[in-house]
Structure 1
Amino acid sequence: MSSKSDAPTFQWSFLHPKYLHTWIGIGLMFLLSWLPYRTQRFLGKKLGLLIMKFFKSRKKIAKRNLELCFPEMTGAERETLLRENFEHMGLAFFETCMAWFWPAWRVKKHVKYVGFEQIEKLKAEGRGVLVTAVHSFNLELGCRAFGLHTPGHGVYRPNTNPVYDWFQYRGRGRENSLIERRDVKQMIRRLREGEFVWYAPDHDYGRHRYAWAPFFAVEKACTTTGTHLLAHASHCLVSSASFTRDRDGTGYTLTFDPPMEAFPYDDAEASAVYTNKFVERSIMRAPEQYMWLHRRFKSRPEGEPSLYD
């Protein structure tokens, strides 16, 4: 789905009984989105602790990632961070409801924008901006909030459930256009046209266009060189943005950082190392809100043992 015209469309087959559970789930999301914000935060944290109790495998992965990335922390500090992380995981469900169903005014009511005064200047320069983001639990709502200020293009992975994919596309495309993640040519084209493209280079995407680069305390983390590919091909600016929940429980802060200085456009490995530093900075603005549950270090150099055994 590379543009609005290629968006998933409603099919009568979506009404087949096998999709009933999907319709019920989406209906529940819609109803929950109408709850008061503080109620959603309360329920989200409780849901997260319930997930922590029953999804032992995810808890184990998150705990291991924290051990690998923050060896200087005490065990008690990591346990506190782990508990907070699962609370924010539960909040993510409700924030997806907010992102897909809230009216624009309600999103804006809860978001504080920082650093967005530089947007008009960047637009005037006529160069595209690759906005690197991280997989925080509130990424869905963060993209919606960014699009309400400056519409752009998000990188999109289709879902195998066609009904959910249709709703997901509609929800994510309310303010932004979506580009299928394999459509690199369109990403480059949009950047060359001076537009904003969201891109998350923080996961382990396997040994395809990758480099080994430090990530926190792990010296060799499989890191995509996609950032370099897009920046080098389009000559765009490379920036970063982070969306964090405010600790007082009133809302969120969306921070847009200045373009990265001295980005190594001609060196893929150096760009991976460079980008990871900005990824780390974004994560450390609210480490408890990052998706530590993914196997970030599943790929290892030849001959090295798994870090998750």
Structure 2
Amino acid sequence: MSQHTEYQPGEFQWSFLLPKYWGIWIGIVCLMILAILPWAIQYRLAQLLGNLAFNSMKSRRVTTLRNLEVCFPEWSEAEVHENARQVFVDQMLGVFETLNAWYCPQWFKGRTQVEGLEHIQQAQADGRGVLLLGTHSTLLDAGGYVCAQYFDPDVVYRPQNNPLLDMLIYRCRATIYGHQIDHDDMRGLIRHLKNGRAIWYSPDQDFGLKQGVMAPFFGVPAATVTAHRRLLKMTKAAAIPLYFYRTGELSNPQYKVLIEPELLDFPSADEVADATRTNFIIEQQLRIAPTQYMWFHRRFKSRPEGYDSIY
């Protein structure tokens, strides 16, 4: 009698050779071909595909437009529309940049810089783990790769529903991150923090009030997760804001990692005050490169009682 063994992330299964997966294999080959194209072609393709996505993905477009209207009331209607379109272009650029990070990492040579690395180094020298408070950037794993040129990051991830895609992405990310920690694996997350690891964690999405509290984000009440407060209390890790973004002309981009000083007196006894503080930090980061954020997520889907729906 054969004994069932639990699937391990990144593990190949013979079932991946079945016909139902052939389309994905063909798609992966196409992506690898795209990864070896010159950047001059890649960024023009990204512009074409980004504009196509903006025009065809109505629900995502409407969400993006509404998020930008709410968060940047100083922008005119034309500015909101143009920046919303650029969000989709930046997302497609991020796909190509991620492919480069996975398959052609030498492309980034001479294009990266870091500011504030000493904040991570000091915390780890003191024997503490580091929880890097970041955002859902359109740079995707390209940002992780740039970070990995200066320190050894781990990442919290959500497994893909398709097991073949999950295996392929996990293996590609293994070349960038020291460890990949399932978002449901709290024990693993705690263990790595206690072992002094630096872990990229993004507390910037709306998971409802069962996992958070209402706190202002760009001046608008938003459901804000509080799980990182518990992690920091249990592990005594340092909370250090992290932001990475693309700079310069698209024809010759540069990539910068901004590491801010450790948050002192964090977490405090007030979870709403901590959530407000976290949101303000993320807001200040996003103002550096507003369109390099996944604004097509419904950041304000949870609304306080008596407030109208934003979407």
Q: Same fold (TM over 0.5)?
A: yes
SS of residue matched to 2:216: strand
Query: Does structure 2 conserve the Cα–Cα contact (< 8 Å) formed by 1:263 and 1:274?
Result: no
Query: Does structure 1 conserve the Cα–Cα contact (< 8 Å) formed by 2:9 and 2:166?
Result: no
Question: Which of residues 69, 76, 93 in structure 1 aligns to 2:78?
Answer: 76
> Is 1:51 aligned with 2:46?
no
Corresponding position of 1:161: 162
Corresponding position of 1:175: 176
Query: Does structure 2 conserve the Cα–Cα contact (< 8 Å) formed by 1:147 and 1:175?
Result: yes
Identity fraction in percent: 39
Letter in 1 for 2:238: L
Residues of 1 paired with 2:286 and 2:79: CA distance?
A: 17
Letter in 2 for 1:262: D
Residues of 2 paired with 1:93 and 1:175: CA distance?
A: 16
Residues of 1 paired with 2:109 and 2:150: CA distance?
A: 9
- 1:80-109 per-residue CA deviation (whole Å, 9 max, x = no partner) reads 211222211221221221222123x33343
Corresponding position of 2:242: 241
| Unmatched segments (≥5 aa) in structure 2 | 1-6
Q: Map of 1:187-266 to 2, 5 A cutoff? A: 187-218=189-220, 220-249=221-250, 250=252, 251-266=254-269
Question: Which of residues 30, 33, 42 in structure 2 aligns to 1:31?
Answer: 33
- 1:109-137 per-residue CA deviation (whole Å, 9 max, x = no partner) reads 32222222443323211111100111110
Question: Which of residues 289, 294, 302 in structure 1 aligns to 2:292?
Answer: 289
Query: Does structure 2 conserve the Cα–Cα contact (< 8 Å) formed by 1:65 and 1:296?
Result: yes
SS of residue matched to 2:123: helix
| Unmatched segments (≥5 aa) in structure 1 | none
Residues of 2 paired with 1:108 and 1:186: CA distance?
A: 33
SS of residue matched to 1:187: helix
- Under a length normalisation based on structure 1, what TM-score does the superposition of the two structures give? 0.92
Residues of 2 paired with 1:276 and 1:195: CA distance?
A: 24
Letter in 1 for 2:200: W
Residues of 1 paired with 2:235 and 2:40: CA distance?
A: 43
Moved more, 116-125 or 172-181: 116-125
Question: How large is the RMSD of aligned CA atoms in angstroms?
Answer: 1.7
Query: Does structure 2 conserve the Cα–Cα contact (< 8 Å) formed by 1:148 and 1:175?
Result: no
Q: How far did 1:285 drift?
A: 1.1
Residues of 1 paired with 2:84 and 2:44: CA distance?
A: 18
- 1:221-241 per-residue CA deviation (whole Å, 9 max, x = no partner) reads 000001211111111110111
Query: Does structure 2 conserve the Cα–Cα contact (< 8 Å) formed by 1:139 and 1:243?
Result: no
Query: Does structure 1 conserve the Cα–Cα contact (< 8 Å) formed by 2:119 and 2:262?
Result: no
Give the paired residue count: 302
Give 1 or 2: higher helix fraction: 1
Q: How far did 1:6 drift?
A: 4.0
SS of residue matched to 1:287: coil
Moved more, 15-24 or 114-123: 114-123
Residues of 2 paired with 1:160 and 1:139: CA distance?
A: 18
Q: How far did 1:264 drift?
A: 3.0
Q: How far did 1:186 drift?
A: 1.6
Residues of 1 paired with 2:210 and 2:173: CA distance?
A: 27
Query: Does structure 2 conserve the Cα–Cα contact (< 8 Å) formed by 1:231 and 1:265?
Result: no
Q: How far did 1:36 drift?
A: 1.5
Letter in 1 for 2:280: K
Corresponding position of 2:138: 137
